[in-house]
Amino acid sequence: DTGVSQNPRHKITKRGQNVTFRCDPISEHNRLYWYRQTLGQGPEFLTYFQNEAQLEKSRLLSDRFSAERPKGSFSTLEIQRTEQGDSAMYLCASSLPGANYGYTFGSGTRLTVV
């Protein structure tokens, strides 16, 4: 078990470009979550999957954001037409199903939009 893996660790992109991040969860975990964290704030929920099904997407999430988990294993988060306000740490986490299991987070992808 190598934990939750996220790639890339850092991404610098120009405003208006599209970016895609990848998350590989712990293999036994069928729940996968995406969060966004800005400096001085706690992680903000974006979306989550159980197996390949996307069960919830934050109402605050722009249509420019999309996530997939095509085979119930790894997941990708794409941001289209990036804006400077998208600059943040994007965290992926996985867990077993149910409310009693805490998450294991990946190392995150730090996005800087210039």
Partner 1 sequence: QKEVEQNSGPLSVPEGAIASLNCTYSDRGSQSFFWYRQYSGKSPELIMSIYSNGDKEDGRFTAQLNKASQYVSLLIRDSQPSDSATYLCAVAPYNQGGKLIFGQGTELSVKP
Judged by the rule CB under 8 A, the positions of this chain that interact with partner 1 are 31, 33, 35, 40-45, 48, 50, 55-56, 89, 91, 95, 97-108
Residue 16 CB, nearest approach to partner 1 (Å):
28
CB of 85 to partner 1, least distance (A): 18
Q: Is the dihedral of CA 79, 6, 25, 96 positive or negative?
A: negative
Q: Is the dihedral of CA 58, 22, 53, 80 positive or negative?
A: positive
- The minimum distance between CB 40 and partner 1, in angstroms, equals 7
Tally Cβ neighbours within 10 Å of residue 74.
16
Nearer to partner 1, 50 or 80 (CB): 50
* Of 1 and 99, CB closest to partner 1: 99
Q: Record the tokens describing residue 60, joined without a space.
A: 């605050």
Q: Which two tokens stand for residue 68?
A: 């997939």
